[in-house]
Each structure stands twice: as structure tokens, then as C-alpha cells.
Structure 1
């Protein structure tokens, strides 16, 4: 039971960061201590060896200048507290026999036979070696020097004091490792909590959002680190999500309104035909009205399907070389009478070399939507200009009108599904025309933009960029 509760805690990021910080601090402390321990050991060993070498040189000079008898008398009367008393000193004959010997105080023992064997092997005048004590846990540093008459002077010193210093140093390290570990744990806990506090804020916000509060935002601090950037991105994402949800709600309201109207008319005419005893002409008109309204619904749903296919690029385009001016003229033949009835003057400035690789069926519908939009919002007596501009790698289709224009706030919204700038909905429309235009143009790897007011300072101007090569 305890382990099952402990397991989630162990796998939390804060716990991992705390343990990692503690481990790094302990390992780095151990490495630093090991390096310092090695350097101190080498320095102390070098100091011990230098001291022994100075004594070896002093004894050699004493023997060669004053003689061996004086040297023997020196060690005979040396007090135990003197430094020299702690040294093992021997003078060996060229054949390895002991001529003089001084036992150290405090006493330590080594295997002299190993020393004598090594002395007989060595050809160097001075050399050093190290052997373990016979009844101790430390080693003995031994220096050997050849005298003028071939005798060998041996000076040895126990490294017990050095070993005690190193063991004390190790104890200090192991005792100091406990507070270091505690500092590492507390420091890791503090840093992990401080570092992960923005993440916890994100988690809290996400839980609130999961509960339905889309207005929740993460508080932004004053730092410029990656987590602050993450919070900014998170808030921006929430703004977009909230906008999309709001737009979706509004779109469903518009969708319900646009479908309800023809369905209501269809049902009303059908109900009248069923409840009244009319002649054949009355039934024919009722069926005609039902057909027209159902056709509006089907057309509405078909446009939605076409937009989705274009946005997802799930439908393969039939790209062929077409002159955009030819497509414009074909569509203008259909809209010419509508423009005349509204007394709108249309100016055509078409380039004769404005070809591009397009799906003519879809681009014709794009042109038709732009012309329908211009006809709808241009007042009587106004003007509409249609231009094509041939460029090296692309063709520009520009449709300008002299209508009331589009506000800056709405220019980014007009491309959304079911958006209607006419909030009163006095003008009939599905709110899908410009959405369809954008989806189809981008499916052609082109782009569409709007400018309001236009270049002449009035109305609205739409520009479509189409690629010559896909």
C-alpha cells in the first residue's frame, strides 16, 4: 500500500529534478575531493621524500667526512624525541652485510632481506623503494645511496603519520558529505519548485479550461526564459481557441438561420398544398417552391463540402494551362445583365498573356464569387473594375468596387465560414463565398488578400495571386 502511494511521487518531475540536483552535487563534491585528496597526498609524499633525501645526504656527508665511528656515536646518544630517532638507518657492506644499524623510535619493521636483495640488484648510486610494514597497515619509504668505499647507506621512514593525516581527511569528507547531501536535497527541492511553478500554473489553468472556463489565462511574469515564452504561447493559443469557439457558436447560429429559412418555406408550401384543395397549378407552384428551397439547402451543403475538400486538399485538382482573362469573360457574360439592371459600370482591364496552371472549374467559381460580392455591395450607379496582371511567375486577378468598404476589424473575419458583415442579413447570402475563394486559391498554392479602401481611396479591392507553375 505504501509503495503504491510512493510510486507516483517518485515519478514526478519535481522529485526527479530534486534527486538529480542532489546526485550532481554529491558526485561533483566527490570528484573535487578525490582530486584534492590526490593532490594533497602527492604533495605530502613529495615533502616526506624530500625530507628523507636531505637526511640521506646529511648522513652520507657525515660518514664520509667524520667516519663511521662518529656516526655510530651520534645515534648512540640521540634522544627519542629527536626527528632522527624516528628513522631506520643502516650501513651495509658491498656484499650486503650490516655494518651499522639504528632501530627507529617509535619502532616499525620491514623485511630487510627484500631490501638487501633489491640493493644487490640495483646499479644506480641512489634509488628509492617502498615496502609495507611487517606489523602495520602503512608503508615504509626507503632511500639507498652508495658511499665512496662502496658501502650502502639505507635510510627508511614510516608513512604512518602521513597515513593518519589522509585517514583524518577521509573522515572529514565522509562527515561533510551528509550536510552536502542535505543542502543538495533542499536546494534541488527549492529549484525544482521554483522552476516548475509555471508548469503548475499551466496545469491549474488547463484543469479550469477542462471544467469549461475558456476565459482562464496564465499570469505572465517578468522573466524572459523558455517557460515564460511557453506561458505566452499558451495564452495566445487560448485566445485563438476562445475565438474559434466563439466563431463556431456564431457560425452555428448563422447556419441554423440560413437553413431554417428555406426549410420553413419548404414546409409551409408543402403544408398549404396538403391542407388546401387547390387545382393542379397550385400544386405545381408548391412543388416548384419546395424544389427551389431544397435546392438552396443542397447548394449550401455542397459549398461547405467543397470548402472542406479544398482546405484539406483531399480532392485532386485538374491543373491545366488557362488564360484567366478568358475565364473572366465567360463569367461576365452571366453577370452582365445583373450589373446592367443595377446600373453598375464594369471596367475590364485584361492582359492577353495572363495564363496560369489552374482548375478552370474551381477558379471560375472563385471569379463568380468575387463578381457576386462586388455586385451585391456596390450601390446603383457605382463602378466595378476587373483586372488581370501578367507577371513572370504568377498572375494577379484584381476585383475592385466602389461600395462602402470593409472595416479594419472585419478584414480578418470575412474569410471565416458563415461570417456575414451584414449583421442585419438584409442581403441574401450564405456567408461562404469568400471562405470558398480563400480555400480554392490556397489549394492552388496561391494567396488572396483584401484592401479597403482600395487604391483609388474608396470601396474594396480583392487580389488573387495564381502561380504559373505548380
Structure 2
């Protein structure tokens, strides 16, 4: 209505009243659907132009005209109740430049009919829209919750003790699918840890049972026999040695745990790794000579690093001990240090039988012993200790095997100068 009012005002002010009169004469039924009453009156109440809707109105035109003349604002609008029914007449008007009042009016009766039609359409559409929405929501919720149900089902099976259960992976690429993949990876790690723990306890029980059995057996024989003081002394010596093995075994386990958890503060000091190697080598030279193993040493004179000397010395000792155990008579062991700008490398290479590729990761696990090493005495903790201590220094340890001709093993320890 405001747009029509502005249109008619422009016609009058730009082209004159005749333009508006001609416009409505050319389109006699123009306002039939909109039901607009259009009129122009002067300040005295004279009607200069009027166009009445085909359907007419239930409000006296004189009353409308009087209310229009009484309006003081240049832009005005008001509502007048119709004589019949609950409908009203909406009036919008403007005061033109010459002081005349132009206004348009419309009955709300047509609006009520349109509203009721819209209400009917709304109610007819509500049911199918609600049905489609309900079915669509049910489908989407089922599709969305399906991965969650699969996850819950798998978790219940795992809770029941089935650690091999995994969450089914679909072909989608959403966040829930990523969650299932991460969950399966976590389950793989948990299963590996649990299996490793079981295996570790089996090895632990086996390795402790042997010295404990010897200790008990020797003590029992000494108690049953009526021997002299020397016999009892030998029995006590055997008990001492076996108990010392057990204590040493438990102490190494404790040291590994402290190094892995970094619960014990390292006593860092500037040390030349070559000096530590020479100190440990002096303890092993005779053992290597007895087994007819050739030792080659290549040490860098500038291979210093900030380390805990006591722990790194034990690392070197463990690597030399392994090389001594698994290098056959007539073999060769190479020990070298390499100085770099920010790191120092310690490398121990032997000519032993080597380590299978599938065992490279397992040899650093607690109590792990490969089939080749079963014949040699050991606790299965040496390389675990090496890895824990080196990583506590923010370093890295790696293994390469075979080295040459399908034989040999090379352990490389990388230490940071400023760890």
C-alpha cells in the first residue's frame, strides 16, 4: 500500500492529476484484486479524484475523508473499523506539495481470506512435512549412532576379556570413523602391552626360580648333612651368590623403571665418552683375550657430552658384555666414537650370528631373550637398561643386523652434547 501510494504521488506531482485519471481510465479493473480505494482531497474536503474498489467498503467515505483532513502529519496512517463484521479499513496517506491529501485504503476482509487460505495450506502441509522430518531424523540419527553402537558393543566384549576384539571400520571419512581407527590402534597397543606383561612375568618367574631353587637346595642339603665347617661355609657361599643374583636382577629392574619414568635426577657432567670406554675396556680386555676375540678401537679425542658418567659407563659395559657373549672365538669387535657438532655417537659392532629383522624392536623389551641367546646366561635386561638410560639423556639407540655376509650386529648410541 505504501508503494502504491508513492507511485500515485509521483504521477500527480510529476505529470499532474490528469495523468492519474487517465491511468485508471485505461485500466478500469486494475484495482479489483487488490481492493484499493484511491482518493485525492483538498484541505476544504473537496474530492479531486476517487477510485473505488469493485467490492466496495463497509465504511462511509465521508468519515474516511474527515479523518484524512484532520491528520496533521505529512505522512499518516490509521485504522477505521467497518460497520459489519470484525474487519477494518487500513488507510495510508501523504500531504502533497500543494497541500492536497492523497490516500489509499484497503479492507482487511481480503487479508483475512488470504490468511485463512494460508492456514489451510499450512495445516495440510504440516502432516507430510512432520512425517518426512520424523523419518529423516530417524534415518539420520540411526546412521549417526550406528558407529557409536558398534563402539559400545566392542567395548563390552573387551570388558568381558576379549582383548582381540576390534571396532569394525567402514568406508566413511568422518570424525567417528577416525575415532574408531584411533580406538583400534589403542587396543592394539593395550593388547601388546598385556601380552608383553604376561611374557615378562613368565620370564621373570623363570629367571628368579633358578637361583632361588639353587639357594634352597644348597641350604637344604647343608641342613640335612652332618658336615664340617667348610661344608657349611660352601653352602653359605652358594646361598650368598644366588641371593646376590636375585638382588642384582631386582636392582636392574628398579634402575630401568627409574630411567624410563625419569623419577631419578641425572647427575650430568662434562665427560669424554672415549675415556669412559677406555675405563670399561680395561675390565673386559682379559675376557676378550681368553675367548680369542680381536678388539679394534677408534676413539675421537673430542667426543665430550653432558652425561651421568655412572649410568653411561653401565651402558658401555652392557654393550661390551653382549659383544663378548655372542661373538664366537676368533671373531672381532669394533668400538668407536664419532664426534659431531651437537652429538656424540658410540658404536659397538661384532661379528656374531646377528639378530633377525623381526626381533629388532623386541630385543629392547624387558626380559626378552631370542632363541639364539637362550644358551647364554643373562637376565634379558641389558638392552632394556641401555635404551632406558640413553632416552633419559634425550638420546637414541638403534640396532643394525646383519652387518656383513648375513652376520654381525651393530649397536649405535647417539648422545646429545647438551642433553
Q: TM-score range by the shorter chain?
A: 0.7 to 0.9
Match of residue 243 from structure 1: 192
Shift of 1:396: 0.2
Change (3 A) 1:147 1:348: closer
Change (3 A) 1:151 1:435: closer
2:279 maps to which of 322, 327, 330: 330
1:132 maps to which of 61, 69, 79: 79
Shift of 1:56: 8.1
SS of match in other structure, 1:388:
strand
Measure, in 2, the Cα distance between the counterparts of 1:151 and 1:332. Answer: 119
Q: Which blocks of at least 5 consecutive residues in structure 1 are unaligned?
A: 1-44, 66-73, 123-127
Contact 1:89 1:102 in 2 (8 A): yes
2:70 maps to which of 102, 114, 117: 117
Shift of 1:62: 8.8
SS of match in other structure, 1:351:
coil
SS of match in other structure, 1:409:
helix
> Structure 1 length normalisation: TM-score?
0.77
Match of residue 204 from structure 2: 255
Measure, in 1, the Cα distance between the counterparts of 2:133 and 2:211. Answer: 73
Shift of 1:237: 2.2
Shift of 1:92: 4.2
Measure, in 2, the Cα distance between the counterparts of 1:433 and 1:102. Answer: 109
Shift of 1:163: 4.8
SS of match in other structure, 2:365:
coil
Contact 1:395 1:465 in 2 (8 A): yes
Measure, in 2, the Cα distance between the counterparts of 1:236 and 1:84. Answer: 71
Q: Which moved more, 1:208-217 or 1:371-380?
A: 208-217
Shift of 1:153: 6.2
Q: Which moved more, 1:198-207 or 1:131-140?
A: 131-140
Contact 1:53 1:143 in 2 (8 A): no
Matched residue pairs, number? 408
Shift of 1:184: 2.6
Match of residue 458 from structure 1: 407
Match of residue 275 from structure 1: 224
Change (3 A) 1:129 1:275: same
Contact 2:40 2:103 in 1 (8 A): yes
Matches for 1:26-425 after TM superposition, within 5 Å: 45=1, 49=5, 60-61=17-18, 83=32, 88=37, 92-96=41-45, 105-109=55-59, 111-118=64-71, 122=74, 129-135=76-82, 136-143=86-93, 156-173=105-122, 175-422=124-371, 425=374
Cα displacement string for residues 253-297 of structure 1 (whole angstroms, at most 9, x for unaligned residues): 111110000000000010011111000000000000000000000
Shift of 1:244: 1.8
Q: Which moved more, 1:302-311 or 1:210-219?
A: 210-219
Contact 1:378 1:402 in 2 (8 A): yes
Measure, in 1, the Cα distance between the counterparts of 2:276 and 2:101. Answer: 116
Change (3 A) 1:397 1:99: closer
Measure, in 2, the Cα distance between the counterparts of 1:352 and 1:204. Answer: 62
Shift of 1:107: 2.5
RMSD of the alignment, in Å? Answer: 3.5
